[in-house]
Amino acid sequence: MTVEAKEQDPAAMALRVGEHLTRGANELYVLSPKPVPLGTTAGAGADVGRLVYRRDAATLDLLHNISRNGMLALGGVTVWVILFFVVFFIFMMSMIFYLNITVVEALSIWGGGAYAGLLFFGALLVLPDLWMRDTAPVRFHRQRREVAFVVEHPGRRVFLPAPSAHLMYGFWFALFSMSGMFTLVGLGFLGSEEELLGATGIVWMAITHMVIAPALAIGYVALYRGVRRLAGWCKETVFVPWEDVVAVATRNMAVTVGGPAGIGWQLHILPPDPERPGYSLAGAGIEVSVTSLQMALMQWELIRRYMEEGPDAVPERADDYSVAWYKDEMARQRRRHEREGKPFWRYRLGRWMELAYFASWYTEYRVNHVLPKAIPKGWVQAWSQPLPESEWAGPSAELTELSRQVEAAYERGETFLDLGPVEERFGQSGAGEAPKPAYRSVPFAAHSG
């Protein structure tokens, strides 16, 4: 059976599993609450978004809006920064023969530019790390059938740009890199007829670079965090029943001068607000870009199978882009090229040009040493412990019956996308849309739950 999509405002209602909502060219498929099986539409599930950070018999951690693919892409950015300064060095050395400058002056110009580039490269490494350290994972506990979301509750409005905002980042980077560059360039021209800054100017540039700019940046971060605390901003861990978690796959379209342009599909995993049906708790949840609706279904099915069937029912996690993965990938590609009679050195050269080994090494470093700093030591430690099997929580009677009927529909040849609103289709009342008591929560740094 094919169900017609209906025009509705998803913010005005409690989304129920199986619903397909449209608004113009945008689409939304509801995969949960009530995490029913997705059948052959999603297969056994797969970690297509590279979300799985850690898992064991009791808990599964998903990365919160952090992409391993994005970490790996750092290599491509890095190599172009390096190549730019190599070309710039050759250009400046050639200018000795066309401009009235000495080798020392040419080296100082190149050195100042190279130093600014080095700082830029450092910013590519350090700033994402700082952001990751402020991004806690979402933890699923299959034996308790609960999910721990870190929710940031907003306080009063703070009329200060965040330190990570593009405006502030550009200001601090410009102040720090330009002062360092002019210090080095000025040293090269010191004592020449074309002296740029003079001894006093160089001293002040150096002081600005080494003392004033770092002090202002650190002081601003401390000021911003203090003001937010005074304004009532705080984090807490909210424990959401597994069967209440909202999962939706969305496709958003943008209209440009040249016509419609697809932005693509995304999977959202959200904690609902029990007191406001149809809304999620602000400042929480996971959002991951995927290439298609099929990929979104596969990602959610992997999570559902872990919670409902255990870690043995879930395929091994996707490529983690570690150094070991890189070496295995190179060995696999070598065998493939030899089998097809193609020269392997061209492929290997391309990977070297992308600094793929460095990117894999730094991705592994971030996963092992940066991401763990995103949560306080011992975060919800007591809640995360495995339980005796006699204390495991079981699925609700409603979910058990609903899953049984959905599986029967799959055996008749239907797919999840054919079912339409699942609860309505199989005669369940859709209870749960009325406001409910708030979910229990603890301060973010708490060890218990």
- Confirm whether 147 is domain-assigned: no
Q: Is the pLDDT of residue 191 over 80?
A: no
pLDDT digits (tens, 9 = 90+) for 252-308: 765 545 445 556 788 989 888 887 766 777 667 888 888 888 888 999 999 999 999
- Confirm whether 148 is domain-assigned: no
Q: Is the pLDDT of residue 430 over 70?
A: no
246 and 216 fall within a common domain: no
Q: Identify the band that residue 189 occupies on the pLDDT scale cut at 50, 70 and 90.
A: low
Given a contact cutoff of 8 angstroms between Cβ atoms, the answer to whether 372 and 440 are in contact is no
Domain range spanning residue 345? Answer: 6-66+235-443
pLDDT digits (tens, 9 = 90+) for 74-126: 666 666 766 776 777 677 667 666 766 777 777 777 777 777 777 777 666 67
Q: Is the pLDDT of residue 313 over 70?
A: yes
Q: Find the helix packing angle between 166-189 and 103-132, rounded to 10°.
A: 160
- Sequence-distant (6+) residues with CB within 8 A of 40 are 410, 415
Dihedral sign of CA atoms 122, 127, 128, 133 in order: positive
Hey, what are 350's tokens?
């391309």
Q: Count other C-beta atoms under 10 Å from residue 353's C-beta.
A: 13
- Above pLDDT 90, what percent of the chain? 11
Report which secondary-structure segment, H or E, holds 61: strand 59-62
Q: Identify the band that residue 195 occupies on the pLDDT scale cut at 50, 70 and 90.
A: low
370 and 413 fall within a common domain: yes
- Confirm whether 75 is domain-assigned: yes
CA dist 310 → 56, 60, 266, 305 (Å): 9, 10, 25, 7
320 and 411 fall within a common domain: yes
What is the residue type of 268?
Answer: H
- Confirm whether 98 is domain-assigned: yes
331 and 287 fall within a common domain: yes
Query: Residues 174-200: what's their mean pLDDT?
Result: 69
- Sequence-distant (6+) residues with CB within 8 A of 200 are none
190 and 324 fall within a common domain: no
> How is 314-371 classified by DSSP, letter by letter?
SPPP-----HHHHHHHHHHHHHHHHHHT--HHHHHHHHHHTTHHHHHHHHHHIIIIIG
pLDDT digits (tens, 9 = 90+) for 335-346: 988 888 888 888
366 and 411 fall within a common domain: yes
What is the model's pLDDT at position 142?
Answer: 94
Q: Count other C-beta atoms under 10 Å from residue 215's C-beta.
A: 10
Domain boundary residue among 232, 256, 282?
Answer: 232
122 and 16 fall within a common domain: no
pLDDT digits (tens, 9 = 90+) for 224-242: 888 888 888 888 899 999 9
What is the model's pLDDT at position 190?
Answer: 62
Classify 198 as helix, strand or coil.
helix
223 and 348 fall within a common domain: no
The CA distance from 84 to 407, in Å, is: 58
Give the number of domains in the chain. Answer: 2
Report which secondary-structure segment, H or E, holds 306: helix 293-309
Q: Which stretch of 139-148, 163-172, 261-270 has the lowest confidence by average pLDDT?
A: 163-172
- Above pLDDT 70, what percent of the chain? 76
- Confirm whether 423 is domain-assigned: yes
Spatial CA neighbour of 235 closest among 299, 314, 309, 155: 155
260 and 390 fall within a common domain: yes
98 and 117 fall within a common domain: yes
What is the model's pLDDT at position 64?
Answer: 72
- Sequence-distant (6+) residues with CB within 8 A of 84 are 117
- Confirm whether 366 is domain-assigned: yes
What is the model's pLDDT at position 180?
Answer: 77
What is the model's pLDDT at position 4?
Answer: 38
The CA distance from 187 to 184, in Å, is: 5
Domain boundary residue among 179, 212, 232?
Answer: 232
Higher pLDDT among residues 383 and 349, named by residue: 383
51 and 111 fall within a common domain: no
Domain boundary residue among 187, 207, 232?
Answer: 232
What is the model's pLDDT at position 261?
Answer: 52
Query: Residues 9-19: what's their mean pLDDT?
Result: 64
228 and 240 fall within a common domain: no
